[in-house]
Amino acid sequence: MSQTTRRPAFAAGSLILLATMATGGSALAQSPDASMGALTSPQAGLSGSITVSGSSTVQPITTAVQEAFNVASPGVAISVDGPGTGDGFALFCAGELDIANASRAIKPEGEADVCATNGVEYIELKVALDGLSVITSAADTAIECLTFADIYALVGPESTGFANWSDGQALATELGSTTVLPDAPLTVTGPGEESGTYDFFVEKVITPIAKERGKPEIMDEAGKASFTRPDYQSSPNDLTIVEGVGGTADNVTTLGWVGYAFVEENLDRIKPLAVDGGKGCVDPSYATISDGTYPISRPLFIYVNKANAAAKPELAAFVDYYLGEGVIDSVLQTVPYVALSSEELDAARATWAAR
């Protein structure tokens, strides 16, 4: 198994730096950034309100930016919550939000088309990277790495009713895995269907195998199609998932999945498993997520209501600041996701400037 490279520990000076940047101090020049065509520091005296909702994964990033922004612009009331990417897009495409946080791209059907029908134009901005992490209890020593085939055999549509890891052994072996699954209780806790983390996990890991095997979606009690087993404990709250996977003294052989930041912040309770997407076992780490070798890496986004950005100076100023030089990088020292490359960040700035 590969060695995990953890992101360097957060330096206490980063919050000071963000505050200095927010107030326009020497850490950030108050001059237009050519790549953005806008000031990168908040404007004093701004007022108004900004409403943000959506991904619980992206919520900590936006909240940290909001807190720093409000140092210089306390008159702007900014609400940020995280019911899930899908729920956020539902509100956003109904015209009820200024910004939707998203841990996946907007879906063409059921989201983008609804926005179009309602006349909601948007600007998609990539802000960071994440490694969707498969986790177990920190006390679990029975397993260290899972293949996509193993994961499918444990949480896919053919695993319904499996109460022991070894229940998935025959299926995993049939799919080509050489992993020996332990003879131990299997308790699964993960995101619900309102979550972008759920959507990305299913799309990347589960659906390709299910379709190859000709397995139809499972219909839940609400009549919604899913490629996962329906009998696991789901929650829209990442910390609730962490608590569930943390297990108990009598139950440490747990399984689940969350965003990378929630793993890094809870290593006393959970541990990330290496994942083999076909090229060997790779641990989720800052390095492997950044270079794309971790097989469940994904981009994180904010979606901005275009008309609202034109009509609300406070909203335009907030996004200017969000994309400002050093802002996201500093936030990601406190919220341990992975920074974009300079080229990717410049592309986001160019998209915002072209609005």
Work out the angle at residue 18's Cα, subtended by the Cα atoms of residues 352 and 307, and round it to the nearest 5 degrees: 25
Give residue-wise pLDDT tens across range 64-75.
Answer: 999 999 998 999
Work out the angle at residue 54's Cα, subtended by the Cα atoms of residues 24 and 317, and round it to the nearest 5 degrees: 25
> Which pairs count as long-range contacts for 26-31, CB under 8 Å and 24+ apart, including other chains?
27/326, 28/324, 28/325, 28/326
Give residue-wise pLDDT tens across range 309-329.
Answer: 999 999 999 999 999 999 999
CATH superfamily of 133-295: Periplasmic binding protein-like II (3.40.190.10)
Residue-level pLDDT at 220: 56
pTM > 0.75: yes or no:
yes
Give residue-wise pLDDT tens across range 245-301.
Answer: 999 999 999 999 999 999 999 999 999 999 999 999 999 999 999 999 999 999 999
Write the CA distances from 121 to 16, 106, 255, integer angstroms: 36, 12, 39
Give ranges for CATH 3.40.190.10 in the chain: 13-129+300-353, 133-295
Q: Provide the CATH number for the domain formed by 13-129+300-353 in this structure.
A: 3.40.190.10
